[in-house]
Amino acid sequence: MNGENPTHRILQIALVLNNKVGVRTGIEPLLSAATYDYGLPRPDWDWSKLGHEIEQVQKELDFLPIDRAAFLNDLLQAFAMMVREGQGDDIPYAERVATYLQVPGQPVPEYVIEALQRELCALLIEADYPDDLGIALRQWRQRQAIAGSALIEKGRAFLEQAAKRTNQIVWPLPEEQKVTLSFPKNYPYRGYSDYARNYEGRVHLSGDIQWETAALKHVVCHESFPGHQAYSAIRERSYRTGNLGIEGTLYFSNTPITPIVEGMCEIGQEILGMIESIDDRIYHLYNRFSTAVNTNLAFGCNAGGMDRETAIRQMMRKTYVPRVFAEKFYEFWTNPLWCTSFPHYWYGAEIMRQNCAQMKGRYPELFRMVYTEPHTVRTLSIAINNLLGLGGG
């Protein structure tokens, strides 16, 4: 590799940003760094030098094929925003979200949340629960609660089922792929996919919270198959076999790549046909409802000045969760790195549902784009429209 190639220079910018944003936020944002040895030096550039390098390489993208140039330009726009943050610019939260993620920089409309709540209430009544949402959810959780050895047994069973269906429906997984599941205590996240390299990964689910069977199924699919573990392994296989350019290996937080990945993870259970029972349907609706509420609380905390106690109490009141659960989410919403990423769950899932609806009957082509090609929200939309002869490219 040499630093003169525009793609390699962008990789170098990403590596330098990984260090500098990591120092600023406490978390390194280049999530693919554990999987790939990019083989490039990481100079000690200051924020001003980084901004200059981004501007210079943007001028060279016209020499690349249009699809590669579009993808890389979108990444560079997100990187330029990181530089502005690093330099101390006071940038509105909404502007950061919109630039980083290519999703609306605004809360979810209240009428959407109200419609989801009505639908959830109706489904709980259909399942013979009371017409009071708080009481109904409390009873549903009690009946669905799972703990102890049954938790790991069911989790592993869901993992195996999801892997099998991913192979059949989505994309062939590397035969060598191995994923372990654990429930650590004092864990900062509800769930996290930790992918290393050589098709090995770990899925950690919090051992501090109550799990319901339907919730466990959803999160296992999100973190493993066809979610993060599948995405990472298929990506690695594509790169190792020469079918994916080096820029396609980048998975960088706060870029318009993440709504695609997180969106696909969020709808993974739907894609696999694993929403099978009325309890699965209840959790599916509850998850959409609570994610919308939490997205708006993230906007309230980061753009509206909402204080910690108010945010925690509102989450507890609106989504009927215990305090320990709300506290974990508050730390997520307000984390210096993840705060601007959080909207990618709601908006990413809605974007990918729309893409699936648009590509109905042509899922293999959509999955090829998502799992084996480098895309941002914008370039994926362009690729879909071009494939369907709708223009927009």
| DSSP codes of every residue in 30-41 | BTTTTT------
Give the pair of three-digit tokens for residue 375. Answer: 């895309």
Give the pair of three-digit tokens for residue 144. Answer: 């669905």
pLDDT of 1 reads: 36
pLDDT tens readout for residues 338-372: 999 999 999 999 999 999 999 999 999 999 999 99
What integer is the mean pLDDT of 125-143?
Answer: 98
Q: Residue 135 above 80 pLDDT?
A: yes
**Residue 230 belongs to what H/E stretch?**
helix 228-240
Distance of CA 205 to the CA centre of its chain: 16
Helix (H, G, I), strand (E, B) or coil at 192: strand
- A 10 A CB-CB count for 17 gives 25
Q: Residue 393 above 60 pLDDT?
A: no
Pairing of strands 211-212, 178-182: unpaired
pLDDT of 75 reads: 98
Higher-scoring residue by pLDDT: 168, 40:
168
Contact 118, 110 (CB under 8 A): no
What's the rounded Cα separation, in Å, for the pair 277 and 275?
6
Pairing of strands 200-205, 178-182: parallel
What integer is the mean pLDDT of 215-242?
Answer: 98
What integer is the mean pLDDT of 199-220?
Answer: 95
pLDDT tens readout for residues 179-192: 999 999 988 888 99
What's the rounded Cα separation, in Å, for the pair 325 and 289?
16
What integer is the mean pLDDT of 116-141?
Answer: 98
What integer is the mean pLDDT of 233-248?
Answer: 96
Domain boundaries, the chain: 6-91, 110-372
What integer is the mean pLDDT of 14-39?
Answer: 95
* Strand residue runs (E) in 207-352: 211-212
| Calculated CA dihedral for residues 209, 212, 216, 219, nearest 10 degrees | -70
From 262, 260, 255, select the one nearest 17 (Cα to Cα).
Answer: 255
What integer is the mean pLDDT of 331-343?
Answer: 96
Q: Residue 2 above 50 pLDDT?
A: no
pLDDT band at 4 (very low <50, low <70, confident <90, very high): low
From 343, 365, 345, select the one nearest 355 (Cα to Cα).
Answer: 365
Percent pLDDT > 70 in the chain is 98
Bridge partners of 2? none
What's the rounded Cα separation, in Å, for the pair 245 and 237?
12
pLDDT of 328 reads: 87
